[in-house]
Amino acid sequence: MSMRTLLFFLVIIPIMFLGMSLALVVSLFEHTGDFFSRMASWWGRFSARIFGIDIEVTGEENYRAGESYLVVSNHAGMADIPLLLGAMKLNLRFVAKEELGRIPVFGWTLKRSGYVMIKRGQNREALKSLLAAADVLKSGRSVHIFPEGTRSENGKLLPFKRGAFLVAMKGGAPLLPVTIIGSNRITPKKSLRIQRGTVRIVIGKPLEPSGFPNAETLLDASYLEIAANLERYGGSQN
């Protein structure tokens, strides 16, 4: 086991649970989840520094920190979530698997902070739980969804599922396509190793759902934008 992996278990995880415990207590009095959002953003930046991960952000001019967006991105590494939390200046909530919501302290804090717990599968109940993210958007917070549904093993883009784009059509907030490049080399899938390196986050121009006739055309536009940035910045290379 590498030193960075040990740091993850001995430093990052304990700090995360201490912070979540504090946020859980605060949530009894502050019901918006905004306190936890600020803590999660700090934790993301701290994690990147302690592991020697440099984050290069391109396209910061394409969004405003005080507005709400549905953020969609490719998913290539376990570090994607903390890196996005630390790099993006948004009051951001993630869509997470329902099973995570059952973990004591961790899951309780996520749910009380406005994270959206979704059921697995493609049935009506799964879609209904996902569409709850639209209510978070309407509250003025931003939501992030990985439309691939799983991590890519080699950094190459997987097909998108349409659930995220149904949320966009229902929630009405601009959709922000984000491309993550290099995270598959930082935290490879099916490995506990954590590598030093540079991750580039490319923020595309927002897409207005009202400008698209349906979720499928919005999906296509988002996919093309993210795929183009992967190609442009060399992210298609293993």
**pLDDT digit string, tens, across residues 206-216:** 999 999 999 99
Mean pLDDT throughout 64-78? 94
Specify the CATH number for the domain of residue 98: 3.40.1130
Kindly report, residue by residue over 99-119, the tens digit of the pLDDT.
999 999 999 999 999 999 998
Residues in CB range of 29: below 8 A, 6 or more apart: none
Whether 201 maps to a domain, the answer reads yes
- For residue 20, pLDDT over 80 is answered with yes
In-domain check, residue 73: yes
User: Can you tell me the mean pLDDT for 80-90?
Assistant: 96
Predicted pLDDT of residue 1: 63
Reported as a pLDDT band with limits 50, 70 and 90, residue 35 is very high
C-alpha to C-alpha distance for 219 and 212, rounded to whole angstroms: 10
Per-residue pLDDT reduced to its tens digit, 168-184: 999 999 999 999 999 99
What does residue 105 show for φ and ψ, rounded to 5 degrees? 65, -60
Q: Which helix (DSSP H) or strand (DSSP E) does residue 117 occupy?
A: strand 116-118
Query: Does a structural domain hold residue 237?
Result: no
Between helix 13-26 and helix 34-50 the angle, nearest 10°, is: 170
Q: Kindly state the helix (H) or strand (E) to which residue 197 belongs, with its residue range.
A: strand 197-203
Domain of residue 185, residue span: 3-232
What HEC string does 10-37 produce?
A: HHHHHHHHHHHHHHHHHCCCCCCCHHHH
Phi first, then psi, for residue 91 (nearest 5°) are -85, 85
Structure pTM?
0.93
pLDDT in tens, 120-165: 766 777 788 888 999 999 999 999 999 998 888 888 899 999 999 9
Residue 156 maps to a domain: yes
238 within a domain of the structure (yes/no): no
pLDDT range class, residue 236, cuts 50, 70, 90: very low
Position 38 in a domain: yes
> Total structural domains in the chain?
1
Q: Sorting pLDDT into bands at 50, 70 and 90, what band is 191?
A: confident
